[in-house]
Structure 1
Amino acid sequence: MEMEAADEETPLLLLQPYRQDVGSEYTSDGSVDINGHPALKRNTGNWRACYMILGVDFCDSVAFFAVARNLVTYLTTVLHEIKVTAAQNVSAWVGACFLTPLIGAFLADTYLGRYWTMVASLPIYTIGLLVLTVSASVPTSYYVAGVHRTMVYIGLYLAALGSGGIKPCTAAFGADQFDSGDPMELQKKGSFFNWYYFLINLGSLLSSTLLVWLQQNGGWGISFAIPTVLMILGLTVFVGGSKVYRFRTLRASPFTSICQVVVAAVRNCNLQLPDDASVLYELASSSSSAESSQKIQHTDQFRCLDKAAIVLPPLDKTCTMFPMCSWSTQVEELKTLLRMFPVWASFVIFYAVSGQSASTFIEQGTVMDNRVGPFAIPPASLSIVGVLSVLIWVYIYETILVPLARRYTGKAKGFSQMQRLGIGFALSMLTMVYSAMLEMKRLAIAQASGLADQNVPVSMSILWQTPSHVLHGAAEVFAGIGVTEFFYDQAPYAMKSLCAAFAQLAVASGAYFNTLVFGIVAVATTQGGSPGWIPDNLSTSIIKVSLLLLISI
């Protein structure tokens, strides 16, 4: 199992001479097996372990999208929530699903390790899905006022809590199965990440087609039961493969490092900074690990934080009250996080636009003609266009756009990180501009057809929403994948997992921003008996839904 942080030095020191005796029989990166013994290459890790980890990733993807893709429809048609409340609740739940990974990352990095965090989270996830399945399967004649709604939300938020221990751990734990000191295994690690993202999209595709179709035809119970069964199987297989996993020793938590710097800087706020930054305290490390060699050069930005690394006199009483536990590298790591904050904040708006595809886009689709030949397309299923758009745009980006841009910019990646993010933001803005124009056109048709007072679909094909999903898919390739690369490249060596969690926190913040906007709009536009900008009958909203869509720009 993964070892305690306090013991991290001992096993590494003990393993070094042992490896010299056995040659390449054991991994060279300090990983151990479930019993804490040096990991044998032939019996642990590699793809034999990743298959089971990827299975959990697939189950999580199916479960999340099975609920998220059409939750707004369930809340409005089964729980009979008004549209603005349903949109708020969808955004709040999606936000919770991407906020809880911070809890999971903290537990994994500080106390439990990635494996035990996943083992503890999977049953919670499964129980949440089971509660949701049972509540959706009970006949309406047995509903008790308030009880059904309460059970639905208990199931939703238990699932959100469970997913918080899965999302930040699956990719990292899968990468742990490859020996970082073996060039052959390092190549396989790159393939693992390809399959990781492939299975996320495959789970989304399955949920957006088969499961959404079941939901649209009244099969809410069975549509929730399928991911529940998958999650039970995933838990069984994952735990059953414990003997073949490789485990990494726990190290000092980045959360602890950040708190140390902040507290030390506050306590030393009255001290004078030295003119020479080289005299700031730096911990002398005897470790030969990779992260120990990653010393960040001193910067003059956020100089107030440098006070955390002031060397205090040996007899200073402050030194005994607060031992010197912060040092220059930790300070610079926190400065790096602060410099990345503006980029993070900009993605709150980007993910607010993404959240619209799971709420207002679907509500818009319900009042459009969803017949395509002999088929009726559920509004939530049109999101598969976005999934396919991502897959297609990834290929176009890698094979066409990057080589073409490389000729003009001379950059190895074709685009700089800021250029890539900027293009993604522009495409995201165009997505909302098009959606707003589409809504204005739909409302004009409703007025001309005399359907403004009736909450029925207008004679406008739902396929007109396709460009919105295509544009947003392109925006995801440029900005969504780009921000993951940005946080990984710019993050300090010891804080890459934490920065990955921050990227997911941007998704949560975007969802909560949507909830805030919907709440403000609902209060501000329903005064004096007005139906508001998002009434239950969207055709009476004239142009106001279009304006709400444009707010996200």
Structure 2
Amino acid sequence: MRLLAKTHERERPWPPLQPLGSSIVSDAEAPLLNDEVDGSIDFTGRPATHSKSGGWKSAAFIIGVEVAERFAYYGISSNLISFLTGPLGQSTAKAAENVNVWSGVASLLPLLGAFIADSFLGRFRMIIVASGLYILGLGLLSASAFLFPFNDSDCQKASDSSACSPPQLQVVLFFFSLYVVALAQGGHKPCVQAFGADQFDEQDPTEFKAKSSFFNWWYFFFCAGVLVALTILNYIQDNLGWGLGFGIPCIVMCLALIIFFLGTWTYRFRTHNEDKNPFIRIGQVFVRAVRNWQTTPTVISTEEEAQGILPHEGIQQFKFLNKAMVMPDGSKKDGRVCSLDDIEEAKALLRLVPIWATSLVYAIVFSQISTLFTKQGVTMDRKITSSSRLQIPAASLQSFVSMAIVIVLPIYDLILVPVARAITRKPTGISMLQRIGIGIFFAILSMVAAAIVENKRLQTAIEHGLVDKPKATVPMRVWWLIPQYLFFGVADVFTMVGLQEFFYDQAPGELKSVGLSLYLSIFGIGSFLSGFLISVIEKVTSRNGRTSWFADNLNRAHFDYFYWLLAGLTAASLILYIYFARSYIYNKKLVV
């Protein structure tokens, strides 16, 4: 018989239908034990089984929720700079700064959301709470646009510029709503993807391979939702009104919450050790290692031998943390020492830091997609054909990133991975770190293409005497921008998905949501760095009456210089990344 004791019910949804820890598996149920998923329960609180829970049937509901959430989020973020420079009347530099700050906050808040989920609520409950906040924020955002409609033609006719200034109430309501959406995303984003990955058993060979594919198809459908948002919502916002353009995402999030509830009976919920909070356990490793700084290597070696720990790369790396195994005098008084497992988890987090840091420049490049790339497109000929009157919304050009991902991801998962798997004998084909590095290289190509095209656009403006006519359309087809979007789409297939899988798999077992929030924080910090870089460059380049690289008149600005700078920074970061990736020690549980 097997006693199911000491399993924590933190991940179980409410209401608690059956007290966990009180049931005993009978002899008649013994043949079914092999079907159980270790460390997971189902909705009723019973041990989860491979046949009745989890896998792709559960992942399908969760992916559906993610598609809806990304549709809503990108429906706001992709065209945000147009709203700020239009109805809110901000300058290009100020609007880009506000977009970067908001994106940064939205990408850093998952750290808070993941902490609350992994420590208190659990992923299931956090997703429900975050969805409610999403609906609230999007509803208020739509109200801010409906209550204060913007008419561009009336503003152009007005002689007094103050007549076009938005009411202060609208500005306050808009930014309050915007940051409620950021808060909602902070709880939603790390938990949904981690909860989806939880549906696959790492100990089962078939589900282990399926989990690697899950990250690929997750991002495939993620981008499908973004593609719809960019092609439909941006058109509605530019042509039918911002109120409707913000209202549709609110309705979609209501549907997403219903979809999530429909899959409840198929989900697996991770159980956790209830002895001590994982944050406390890992934090104590660092605290005790610092307190024991005087402990000699001899004492540590003696303790390692006593525990039967064989020398290996993991134990030799960050050796100062091994001091947490003993007291300064070599004793174990009052049990105030850390276990080897706790120390290994602390080291696992430290190993993530160099990869996290060297990915920040990639995130800075990522920030340009919805800001400067969009402003480039606004100045160009956006007619579908030379004789057509229908214009493509500049923000919809971001759909080419999604198109590239939707096309390349299936090729990668169905063709390239099996071929690489046959060559390398690795379940994932190539390692996660190799995949990330390939994407960073494509990001460099994107910046190079953007710089070349922007230089061509400026030359065209000069040739046609449009330098001092910022409102005039530069006679250069917007299709010139497609290569920079496509290159970055390919970069995302490798780097973005690689980072998601890497930070989920390499994070300690009870901190999977935190692992994904660390991945998201890369883009949060990257947005802040992008805003900071733009602010500094604008101040430096506009000194002594000179024209800023980010002047409101884009025909006198120099986005091309900025793109060349980013290409150089990305190349330098790739060199550092390769150095750290080559020396990275994977967690022992992984097969890579």
Same fold (TM over 0.5): yes
How far residue 214 of structure 1 moved from its aligned partner, in angstroms, is 0.6
Partner of 1:3: 9
Q: Please, which of 432, 435, 440 is the counterpart of residue 425 of structure 1? A: 440
Partners of 1:199 and 1:399 in 2: CA distance: 15
How far residue 266 of structure 1 moved from its aligned partner, in angstroms, is 1.9
Secondary structure in 1 matching 2:270: coil
Partner of 1:338: 350
Instruction: Summarize deviations over 1:236-278 as a string: whole Å, max 9, x none.
Output: 4434654554433234544333311111112222333335535
CA contact (8 A) 1:93 1:157 kept: yes
Q: Does 1:454 align with 2:469?
A: yes
How far residue 331 of structure 1 moved from its aligned partner, in angstroms, is 2.2
1:338-417 matches, within 5 Å, as 338-373=350-385, 374=388, 375-398=390-413, 401=416, 415-417=430-432
1:110-509 matches, within 5 Å, as 110-140=119-149, 145-177=167-199, 193=215, 195-239=217-261, 242=264, 245-251=267-273, 253-274=277-298, 276-277=300-301, 279-280=303-304, 298-311=314-327, 319=333, 324-373=336-385, 374=388, 375-398=390-413, 401=416, 415-455=430-470, 456-509=472-525
Q: Does 1:519 align with 2:535?
A: yes
Secondary structure in 2 matching 1:332: helix
How far residue 213 of structure 1 moved from its aligned partner, in angstroms, is 0.7
Q: Please, which of 19, 22, 32 is the counterpart of residue 24 of structure 1? A: 32
CA contact (8 A) 1:282 1:327 kept: no
Point out the more displaced range, 454-463 or 531-540.
531-540
Q: Please, which of 89, 103, 107 is the counterpart of residue 80 of structure 1? A: 89
Secondary structure in 1 matching 2:187: coil
How far residue 434 of structure 1 moved from its aligned partner, in angstroms, is 1.3
Partners of 2:111 and 2:343 in 1: CA distance: 21
CA contact (8 A) 1:402 1:413 kept: yes
How far residue 62 of structure 1 moved from its aligned partner, in angstroms, is 0.7
CA contact (8 A) 2:295 2:329 kept: no
Partner of 1:61: 70
Instruction: Name structure 1 gaps, 5 residues minimum.
Output: 285-292
CA contact (8 A) 2:57 2:266 kept: yes
* Change beyond 3 A, Cα 1:278–1:214: farther
Partners of 1:151 and 1:412 in 2: CA distance: 50
Point out the more displaced range, 219-228 or 249-258.
249-258
Partners of 1:61 and 1:122 in 2: CA distance: 12
Partner of 1:289: none
Instruction: Summarize deviations over 1:402-441 as a string: whole Å, max 9, x none.
Output: 5776788787766455543333222111111111111111
How far residue 58 of structure 1 moved from its aligned partner, in angstroms, is 2.0
How far residue 72 of structure 1 moved from its aligned partner, in angstroms, is 0.8
CA contact (8 A) 1:213 1:378 kept: yes
* Change beyond 3 A, Cα 1:16–1:92: farther
Point out the more displaced range, 13-22 or 248-257.
13-22
CA contact (8 A) 1:34 1:242 kept: yes
CA contact (8 A) 1:15 1:30 kept: no
1:42-57 matches, within 5 Å, as 49-57=58-66
* Change beyond 3 A, Cα 1:523–1:78: same
Secondary structure in 2 matching 1:450: coil
* Change beyond 3 A, Cα 1:278–1:170: farther
Partners of 2:467 and 2:356 in 1: CA distance: 41
CA contact (8 A) 1:135 1:152 kept: yes
CA contact (8 A) 1:273 1:306 kept: no
CA contact (8 A) 2:215 2:497 kept: no
AA in 1 matched with 2:180: L
Instruction: Summarize deviations over 1:420-465 as a string: whole Å, max 9, x none.
Output: 3333222111111111111111111111111111112201111000
Partners of 2:533 and 2:215 in 1: CA distance: 35
* Change beyond 3 A, Cα 1:253–1:366: farther
Number of residues of Structure 1 aligned to a counterpart in Structure 2: 534
Point out the more displaced range, 263-272 or 219-228.
263-272
Partners of 1:179 and 1:300 in 2: CA distance: 30
CA contact (8 A) 2:118 2:510 kept: no
Partners of 2:256 and 2:305 in 1: CA distance: 48
Instruction: Summarize deviations over 1:492-538 as a string: whole Å, max 9, x none.
Output: 54554433221111121211111111121222233345442211111
Partner of 1:551: 565
Point out the more displaced range, 133-142 or 82-91.
133-142
AA in 2 matched with 1:234: A
AA in 2 matched with 1:103: L
Partners of 2:210 and 2:317 in 1: CA distance: 40
AA in 1 matched with 2:32: S
Partners of 1:408 and 1:241 in 2: CA distance: 38
Partners of 2:41 and 2:352 in 1: CA distance: 34
Point out the more displaced range, 214-223 or 41-50.
41-50
Point out the more displaced range, 431-440 or 357-366.
431-440
CA contact (8 A) 1:349 1:510 kept: yes
AA in 1 matched with 2:227: L
How far residue 217 of structure 1 moved from its aligned partner, in angstroms, is 0.9
Q: Does 1:93 align with 2:112?
A: no
How far residue 548 of structure 1 moved from its aligned partner, in angstroms, is 1.5
CA contact (8 A) 2:144 2:174 kept: yes
CA contact (8 A) 2:300 2:323 kept: no
Partners of 2:429 and 2:65 in 1: CA distance: 34
Partners of 1:47 and 1:457 in 2: CA distance: 49
AA in 2 matched with 1:372: I
Partners of 2:264 and 2:425 in 1: CA distance: 47
How far residue 546 of structure 1 moved from its aligned partner, in angstroms, is 1.1
Partners of 2:136 and 2:46 in 1: CA distance: 34
